[in-house]
Amino acid sequence: MIFGRAIVSELANAASAVFTVLFSIIFSVGLVRIIGQAAGGRVDNQAVFELVALTALTWLPIILTLTLFISVLMALTRAYRDSEMVVWFTSGRSLTAWIGPVLRFAWPIIVSIALLALFVTPWANAQIDESRDRFAKRDDVSRVAPGRFIESGGTDRVFFVESVDLKDGQVRNVFVSMRSQGREGLIVAAEGIIEVEQNGDRFLVLKRGRRYEGTPGKLEYRTMEFDRYAIRLETRADQPIGERRAKTLTLMQLMANPTQLNLGEIMWRSGLPVVALLVTLLAIPLAYVNPRVGRSFNLIAAVLLFALYLNVLNTVQAYVQQGRLAFGIGVWLVHAVVLLLVVVLFLRRVHMQRWVPRWLAPSSRLVNRHPANAA
């Protein structure tokens, strides 16, 4: 059908524009956030772009779902605004005839969302967690970013170095603030080197510096000059990575260990392609434009309804993970309500011109009561 191919082409053009905008926003926000974390010493500076790309992968299912929803809304809203729907209806076609072309356009994207949610997103989350864990388990000096104040893993020391040469283990112009048994210590040194003992212990050996030690609020401070001063580093590089979160487990691992947390994660992953399908169908009756109200009203209402759908699904997932709702109920409850809403809206647009029958409307009762006035 020529008109069906035209619908698919228009939906594809709208979807490409919407996806570009949404992905650019998410990527920019993620880039700024992770750069801020790298500047604060919470993630590895060398893994910034890797973390941004992996984070964008985790957001792709939601971005694609919202792309489907908005593109269908935009295409049908334009058809209503340009009176194309009037021609469509007067030619004997129903609103339900849009379902075929819309689903023909949407099914590859829905399959992609399912693959991303079930397989790609858990892998990306696992890579993000492993990168953060590896960085958290590095020794204190290896985590230092030159020119930044970085807190140690034990939160009892703050390091500042002007430059770091990790290959040779050299640091220059070092400042260390230490806290121990209620006493504060400050150490400044011109340079230092990382030394490893035979038992594997690592030490930061500072050279040509001073140490100031005392209790805050008191005047009793000691000053000591040294040619060589060793600080034992908190080294955790060889420790195993901790227990993985449910978001990082594969589907087979979740099914093999059906705890409450894992069941909630299964419910969320399996629900995303269902959400994409239902919101795509929901956009068809929601796209109706009343010329007296304007175009923006239905778009705002539709986006709010989409956000409500995801938030309620997220809440039900939390209830399942907390054991307050059975998995067998939570996995279909929200989707069933939305499916019922889709059916009701289609019935409203196809078979009913108004929510209340005319013979029950107050104006109709007034006309029937005074037929002479009506004439």
Percentage above 90 pLDDT, the chain: 35
164 SS3 class: strand
User: The tokens 């997103």 sit on which residue?
Assistant: 121
pLDDT of residue 315: 94
Label residue 50 exposed, middle or buried (CB < 10 Å: 0-12, 13-18, 19+): middle
Q: Tell me the C-alpha distance between 262 and 266, whole Å.
A: 6
User: Would you say residue 35 has pLDDT above 90?
Assistant: no
- What is the Cβ-side half-sphere exposure of residue 243, based on CA atoms within 13 angstroms? 2
Q: Determine the average pLDDT of the residues in 131-159.
A: 64
pLDDT band at 360 (very low <50, low <70, confident <90, very high): very low
pLDDT band at 333 (very low <50, low <70, confident <90, very high): very high
Q: Tell me the C-alpha distance between 130 and 331, whole Å.
A: 30
177 SS3 class: strand
pLDDT band at 375 (very low <50, low <70, confident <90, very high): very low
Q: Tell me the C-alpha distance between 35 and 330, whole Å.
A: 38
Q: Do residues 50 and 40 lie in contact, with contact meaning Cβ atoms separated by under 8 Å?
A: no
Q: Tell me the C-alpha distance between 36 and 52, whole Å.
A: 12
Q: Do residues 349 and 285 lie in contact, with contact meaning Cβ atoms separated by under 8 Å?
A: yes
Higher pLDDT, 179 or 146: 179
The neighbour count for residue 29, using CB atoms within 10 Å, is 13
What is the 8-class DSSP label of residue 117?
A: I
Strands 157-165 and 150-151: antiparallel
Predicted model pTM: 0.73
User: Would you say residue 357 has pLDDT above 70?
Assistant: no
Q: Tell me the C-alpha distance between 327 and 260, whole Å.
A: 8
pLDDT of residue 107: 95
Higher pLDDT, 156 or 341: 341
Q: Which of 73, 29, 40, 59 is nearest to 284 (CA)?
A: 73
Q: Tell me the C-alpha distance between 202 and 238, whole Å.
A: 13
162 SS3 class: strand
User: Would you say residue 356 has pLDDT above 50?
Assistant: no
Q: pLDDT, tens digit, for every residue of 81-127?
A: 777 777 777 777 778 888 989 999 999 999 999 999 999 999 999 99
Domain ranges of the chain: 2-135+243-363, 141-232
User: Would you say residue 355 has pLDDT above 70?
Assistant: no
Q: pLDDT, tens digit, for every residue of 304-315?
A: 889 999 999 999
Extract the tokens encoding 274. 């269902």
Q: Do residues 199 and 176 lie in contact, with contact meaning Cβ atoms separated by under 8 Å?
A: no
Q: Tell me the C-alpha distance between 373 and 375, whole Å.
A: 5
Q: Determine the average pLDDT of the residues in 166-174.
A: 72
User: Most confidently modeled of 49-53, 117-121, 232-236, 297-301?
Assistant: 117-121
User: Would you say residue 47 has pLDDT above 50?
Assistant: yes
User: Most confidently modeled of 135-149, 245-259, 261-275?
Assistant: 261-275
Extract the tokens encoding 61. 């299912």
User: Would you say residue 162 has pLDDT above 90?
Assistant: no
